[in-house]
């Protein structure tokens, strides 16, 4: 028999490869969608910028404006992802409330 590389044809699958393919086909797919469904009731450990903006009723452009002015929440950078912990969001809200109270008292 000629080697598959010399004729550029694939070699016929062996029975072991066919058995592994059958087992893999019966196994449920592990996709992000199925993982999200499994952990649907689990609260996320931190906000993404988008989820932070939704939770605090901000637009993303306003969030970035606050960050550029140094008035935004603390961020965690994990690789290329930017996350905001729940504690950082709480501290940010507390600072805003104190600032607003100081402005009212100054009037």
Integer angstrom CA distances of residue 97 from 69, 90, 93, 106: 18, 11, 6, 14
Q: What's the predicted TM-score (pTM) here?
A: 0.61
Q: Where are the alpha helices (DSSP H) in the chain?
A: 4-7, 15-26, 32-38, 49-55, 60-69, 86-106
- Domain extents for the chain? 14-106
Residue 4: pLDDT band by 50, 70, 90 thresholds? low
| Model pLDDT for residues 13-70, shown as the tens digit of each residue | 676 666 676 766 776 666 667 767 777 777 778 999 999 999 999 999 999 999 999 9
pLDDT of residue 98: 95
C-alpha dist (Å) from residue 86 to 3, 13, 17, 95, 104? 60, 52, 48, 14, 27
What pLDDT band is residue 8 in, cutting at 50, 70 and 90? Answer: low
pLDDT value of position 40: 75
């Amino acid at each position: 028999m000629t080697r598959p590389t010399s004729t550029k044809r694939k070699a016929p699958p062996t029975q072991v490869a066919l058995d592994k393919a059958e087992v893999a086909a019966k196994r449920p797919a592990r996709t992000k969608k199925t993982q999200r469904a499994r952990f649907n009731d689990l609260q996320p450990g931190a906000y993404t910028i988008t989820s932070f903006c939704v939770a605090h009723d901000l637009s993303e452009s306003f969030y970035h404006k606050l960050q550029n002015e140094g008035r935004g929440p603390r961020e965690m950078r994990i690789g290329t992802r930017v996350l905001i912990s729940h504690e950082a969001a709480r501290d940010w809200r507390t600072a805003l409330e104190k600032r607003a109270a100081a402005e009212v008292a100054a009037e």
